[in-house]
Amino acid sequence: MAEGEDSPYENWGLAEKMELEKQEWRKPPQKVLSLPGSSLGKAIMLLYVLLALTFVLLMTLTIVSLCRASSVQEALEGAQMRSEEGQAVAWQNLSKVQHTLEEKDLVGPLQQQLKDLKEQQSRNSELLTAVLEDTKKLSEILCTSCPGGWRQFLKTCYFFSGDTKPWLGAKEFCDSYNAHLAVVETEQEDKFLATHILEQREFWLGLSDIHSEGDWHWVNGRPLTFSLWKKGEPNNVGAQGEDCATIYSSGYWNDISCTSSIFWICERSC
């Protein structure tokens, strides 16, 4: 190699250095996040201000709470003091009244009034006892329960059929339920039955003169003491006669043939 000529190693190092500079130039410039000194100072100052305001607010709330607690305590102490004063005044007045009564000899009349009050209380107690006794008797008169589908009137349960049978078939049905065809003994009972009968329907009663014409008896053996026959009834018309009684929605009774198939009413005690 002649003097003054670059060696191959120097040329290679120079080329490599130029290539590295090119690569550095091609890289995108990196962004550096920096906060100016003035902005950082403002943020710190704002933080101090917020902390100071928070402290002031907490102190204000604490002072207000202490004031309210103090006011409540003062009010309670005042109420307690007034209560004690009121009790003292009441005892003084009571003592004065007692002394006045003793001086004016009014204890006797007061004792008489007390005696009268006791007697009135005794009379009220006796009246209350009588009312309770009447209530007990009423509960014994009224039903406590009736079977499902049966209706209650006083101390009796009634069943109104939804299908029809001849008189004897209806009687057997009631017998199977430890009941009997309805026996009507009062006007009130008759009205109760009538209110549960739909119009254009007729129901068997437990009343007949099967054994002796004109001698009407209930199925429970009781004689006919109350009746509400429809005008012109019973008339016993027809070749077979009419020996069994029925009731309409109007409450009036009729006599028809016992073989007719109509609705029926069963009756049983509670």
Greatest mean pLDDT among 41-50, 84-93, 154-163: 154-163
What digits encode the pLDDT tens for the residues 193-204? 999 999 889 999
Query: Which of 198, 187, 171 lies closest to 267, judged by CA?
Result: 171
**DSSP characters over 84-113:** HHHHHHHHHHHHHHHHHHHHHT-HHHHHHH
What digits encode the pLDDT tens for the residues 70-128? 554 555 555 556 656 665 665 566 566 556 655 555 556 666 776 777 777 777 767 76
Confidence bin at 32 (pLDDT 50/70/90): very low
What is the reported pLDDT for 5? 47
Q: Are 259 and 152 in contact (CB under 8 A)?
A: no
What is the reported pLDDT for 85? 64
Q: Write down the pTM of the prediction.
A: 0.49
Which CATH homologous superfamily contains domain 151-269? Mannose-Binding Protein A, subunit A (3.10.100.10)
Per-residue pLDDT for 6 more than 80?
A: no
Task: Give the side-chain half-sphere CA count within 13 A for 20.
Answer: 6
User: What letter does residue 241 receive in the DSSP assignment?
Assistant: -
Which positions ≥6 away from 145 have C-beta within 8 Å? 270
